Copies of this chain bind each other. A is one copy, B any other.
Amino acid sequence: MQKQAWGERHWFIPDGYIPETSSGSLTSHESVCVLNTSDRDASLSFTIYFEDREPMEHIAFTVPGRRTKHIRTSLLQKDGAPIPVGVPYAIAVESDIPVVVQYSRLDSTQAENALMSTLAFPVKG
């Protein structure tokens, strides 16, 4: 029996930001956390939107079946160029099969950590 692919295919995260500095024992970072409950691979395509320049499009990532991936945004690259740090941006995730997406940020600009997390916004269709 095939495992069901729960979730949606389109997800949006308006508040992306990679902090410029870290201190203390943990590194500032963001994660786009994707859950693929089906037994097939999910092929993701990221689009990165900015305030004042054209989007970075068609950044590919695969999440294997019945696995989660907590994707560091600092690892996403387009033609070898990463997302710039210290710049407000937004994220769109498209998947070929339904998945569930959550966004979290750890900010260790100060020695003590700050955390935030939210579900991404799902759109049907």
Contact = CB atoms under 8 A, between A and B. Distances in A.
A104 B15 contact: yes
Interface residues of A, number: 54
A123 to B, nearest CB: 5
B92 A68 contact: no
A112 B111 contact: yes
A42 interface: no
A75 B29 CA distance: 27
A84 interface: no
Given A51-B70, A113-B114, A119-B121, 20 more contacts: A13-B35, A14-B68, A14-B70, A14-B100, A15-B102, A25-B110, A33-B90, A35-B90, A35-B92, A37-B92, A49-B66, A49-B68, A50-B68, A100-B121, A107-B115, A112-B114, A115-B115, A115-B116, A116-B116, A118-B119
